[in-house]
């Protein structure tokens, strides 16, 4: 990983000493193929040529593709970015499920360059131990907040045993991993609100950008807007599973997404996604996809155009060609 800012990886001893009190207390599916019955969406234009598996594909452009999987992990989060020369996993599902490692294996993952835990809730870091035991992981990012849960304690142990590098990223840092460019947007400092301290990043591949904000809520979103962070992205991962607490109008206006994706379980007890959040996104003319309705969602891009494939559903959309390139 090539650092583009002054942030350095923090020594394990220093970090573990900061968690000593917490740890002392705690011590006493398959990546289903996106079948022909699923959805294919091209945001520049709907194309009719096909891949070898029968799926529509983007027009051939010199260079390699990035595949982004928003895995269907129920009421949790796990997103894989599998590029030509990088592999990034953002969050790893719920603690009481076991599908993330099989998903990664079936997606062809052999090792992971960067594993990000946006915040220490068990529906985001739940399967970190299994991921760290199953793959060589180069670096791990956590926000730095702790949690008095067994899931968090097991995650800390698994990171230490893996030998991976460790870092607590802060807004303003930027890194290159292969052909990806990662900008850290949040947080600047930790608060007692674990959701609003979520690690938030924009990851750019060519001219296409993806935005991830974990469970950041209105305060966190406004902080990013007010700091003038580079938020513009074609694909937005809606914060907090599509909750009304996130995806506010001012934030959406800064992002200006073409597609928004949320992750939540069918008939979950929280009522996610909340209609208020969906209305705000739909009000901007943004197409919305969710794992509860569409299953695993895949975005494929050559760095100029992108398509969205879904495991199930029948929606199709078309966009006009000629979208401007993002500036950094």
- The CATH number assigned to the domain holding 97 equals 3.60.15.10
**Is 322 inside a domain boundary?**
no
**Is 320 inside a domain boundary?**
no
Nearest to 311 by CA among 291, 295, 293, 292: 295
* Res 39 pLDDT > 50: no
* Res 46 pLDDT > 60: no
What confidence score (pLDDT) does residue 202 get? Answer: 97
**Is 162 inside a domain boundary?**
yes
**What is the tally of structural domains in the chain?**
1
What confidence score (pLDDT) does residue 100 get? Answer: 96
* Residue 125 burial by Cβ neighbours in a 10 Å radius (0-12, 13-18, 19+): buried
**Is 318 inside a domain boundary?**
no
**Is 95 inside a domain boundary?**
yes
What confidence score (pLDDT) does residue 259 get? Answer: 96
**Is 155 inside a domain boundary?**
yes
Q: How far is CA 180 from CA 158, 184, 252, 303, in A?
A: 26, 13, 23, 10
- 205 alpha-carbon distance from chain centroid: 14
**Is 317 inside a domain boundary?**
no
pLDDT tens, residue by residue, 271-291: 879 889 899 998 999 999 999
pLDDT tens, residue by residue, 293-323: 999 999 999 999 999 999 987 544 434 334 4
Share of the chain above pLDDT 90, in %: 59
Query: Residue 301: which domain range?
Result: 2-310
**Is 321 inside a domain boundary?**
no
Cα–Cα dist 289/262, whole Å: 7
Q: How far is CA 102 from CA 1, 18, 97, 107, 183, in A?
A: 26, 33, 11, 8, 29
pLDDT tens, residue by residue, 100-122: 999 999 999 999 999 999 989 88
Pick the range with the lowest mean pLDDT from 2-16, 172-186, 255-269.
2-16
The first and second tokens of residue 298, run together, are: 């895949």
Cα–Cα dist 57/199, whole Å: 32
Cα–Cα dist 225/228, whole Å: 5
């Amino acid at each position: 990983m090539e650092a583009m800012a002054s942030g350095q990886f923090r020594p394990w001893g220093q970090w573990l000493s900061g968690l000593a009190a917490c740890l002392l207390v705690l011590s006493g599916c398959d990546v289903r193929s996106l079948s022909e019955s699923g959805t294919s969406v091209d945001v520049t234009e709907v194309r009719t040529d096909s891949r070898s598996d029968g799926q529509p594909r983007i027009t051939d452009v010199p260079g390699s593709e990035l595949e982004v999987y928003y895995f269907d992990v129920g009421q949790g989060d796990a997103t894989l970015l599998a590029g030509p020369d990088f592999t990034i996993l953002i969050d790893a599902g719920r603690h009481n499920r076991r599908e993330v490692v099989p998903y990664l294996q079936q997606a062809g993952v052999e090792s992971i360059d960067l594993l990000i835990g946006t915040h220490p809730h068990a529906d985001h870091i739940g399967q970190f131990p299994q991921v760290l035991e199953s793959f060589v992981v180069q670096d791990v990012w956590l926000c730095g907040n702790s949690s008095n849960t067994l899931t968090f304690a097991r995650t800390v142990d698994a990171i230490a045993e893996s030998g991976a590098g460790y870092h607590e990223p802060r807004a303003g840092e930027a890194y290159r991993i292969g052909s990806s460019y990662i900008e850290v947007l949040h947080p600047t400092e930790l608060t007692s609100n674990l959701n609003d301290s979520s690690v938030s990043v924009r990851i750019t591949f060519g001219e296409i950008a993806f935005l991830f904000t974990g469970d950041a809520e209105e305060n966190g979103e406004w902080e990013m807007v007010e700091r003038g962070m580079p938020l513009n992205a074609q694909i937005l991962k809606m914060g907090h599973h599509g909750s009304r607490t996130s995806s506010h109008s001012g934030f959406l206006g800064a992002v200006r997404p073409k597609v928004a994706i949320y992750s939540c379980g069918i008939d979950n007890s929280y009522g996610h996604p909340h209609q208020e959040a969906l209305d705000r996104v739909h009000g901007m003319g943004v197409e919305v996809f969710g794992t509860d309705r569409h299953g695993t969602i895949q975005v494929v891009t050559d760095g100029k155009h992108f398509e969205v494939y879904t495991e199930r559903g029948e929606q199709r959309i078309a966009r006009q060609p000629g979208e401007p390139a993002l500036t950094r």
